[in-house]
Amino acid sequence: MTTQITRLGNGLTIVTDTMTHVETTSLGIWVGVGARHEQPAENGISHFLEHMSFKGTATRSAQAIAEEIEAVGGELNAATGLETTAYFARVLKGDEGVSMELIADILLNSSFSSDELEREREVILQEIASTRDMPDDIAFELVNEAAYPGQAVGRPILGPAANVKRFSPGDLSAFLATHYLPGSMVLSIVGDVQHETLVRHAEALFGGLTSKLVKAQEAAHYQGGVRWHPKRFEQSHLVLGFEAPSYRDQAYFTAQVFSGLLGGGMSSRLFQEAREKRGLCYSIYSSAWSLNDTGVLAVHAATGPEMMASLIDITCGEFEDVARRGPSTAELNRAKAQLKAGLLMSLESSSARAEQMARHLLAHGRIIDRDELIQNVDAVSVEDVGRFAQLVLARPPSVAVVGAGKASQRLAVQAADRVARGSASAEAKIA
């Protein structure tokens, strides 16, 4: 694979990776703007803007946009996160110009008509309502709020319904003009492509964007806390969160390895202990997600309310065991193998590779190559993981329980208390 990077005069970055063996091209614009860049009254506007970008431009209707991309057999989509919003496409080799022109049109020339806005408003309100029927969505939202209370990074990406009900075309246009700046945009393209040809095309489409100073995002401050929801579901959902490293921290790789051996697969500690040996739940897993300046390591499981206490005790016990004794060499190597396999497999997907390159450039200002990624994983030691578990336990947890009705509050407090007992021993070991 051959990676090339060009930065236009206005700051927009174009990166390509040439894969001569593929018959499709994946490309998109990743903008370094998401929910954490919103003011409280704007919460949800990044997601609303992403939806409205497909609802017509000065020269294309929503139907015309859909017909034009599908006329060449392509796919066009978008996604909003806490720090980024992405507009991406996948087309057959040779049709990348069509998809690039469509993406440029929806980003630069969206009309935000009142009729389309009202229709899409209802769609988003239904999307918000659907999350209220998903206990795991509620639990993760509550954990994020507990981890970062009163901060933009702790608010939901979809925003509250009250905000969505009042956003106007002017609000969308103002947010777009303020935050969608070329210096925070990466055009990432992977396929059997010619870099210089695509740079010239991108210059023609995006070169007119005015360069402005990108406003620094508000720093995130992890705090932790306890949240619950009184709604009853068939199962009770537990999400147990801890502060984790950012993308830019070398300990990011230690967090990924730790998450893998704790709850990353069928051989992981939590799967074996909670499901295979005790039958407490159908699934239990851990994940470590990161932003530019912070992160959260979370364990999620669902079980009956009467078994939640046992599930909490087992989960905390595994954290404490790794902090006290460290992992075995065998399980460390299994977790590393899983992580490396996932990294290498993603490089075989043009769409995953396009996203990876864009995220690397936005987070690090450079692309971390395959060998460096693998070296970073291989460098994680038994001692690193044990020390990481100690540091994780020494910080206050973020706990959410959803689905047990009124008992959710008691179970959430019980989980926090159980973690606190393990934290005391972790702090003593660190000291």
Catalytic residues: 50
- Alpha carbon distances (Å) from 109 to 58, 59, 122, 209, 214: 6, 8, 23, 12, 21
Cα(378)–Cα(367) distance, rounded to whole angstroms? 19
HEC secondary structure over the chain = CEEEEEECCCCCEEEEEECCCCCEEEEEEEECCCHHHCCHHHCCHHHHHHHHCCCCECCCCHHHHHHHHHHCCCEEEEEECCCCEEEEEEEECCCHHHHHHHHHHHHHCECCCHHHHHHHHHHHHHHHHHHCCCHHHHHHHHHHHHHCCCCHHHCCCCCCHHHHCCCCHHHHHHHHHHHCCHHHEEEEEEECCCHHHHHHHHHHHHCCCCCCCCCCCCCCCCCCEEEEEEEEEEEEEEEEEEECCCCCCCCHHHHHHHHHHHHCCCCCHHHHHHHHHCCCCCCEEEEEEECCCCEEEEEEEEECHHHHHHHHHHHHHHHHHHHHHCCCHHHHHHHHHHHHHHHHHHHCCHHHHHHHHHHHHHHHCCCCCHHHHHHHHHCCCHHHHHHHHHHHHHCCCEEEEEEECCHHHHHHHHHHHHHHHHHHHHHHHHC
Phi, psi of 343 (to 5 degrees): -65, -45
266: burial class by Cβ within 10 Å (0-12, 13-18, 19+)?
exposed
Pairing of strands 2-7, 13-18: antiparallel
Angle at 287 between CA 272 and CA 219, to 5 degrees: 155
Cα(324)–Cα(422) distance, rounded to whole angstroms? 10
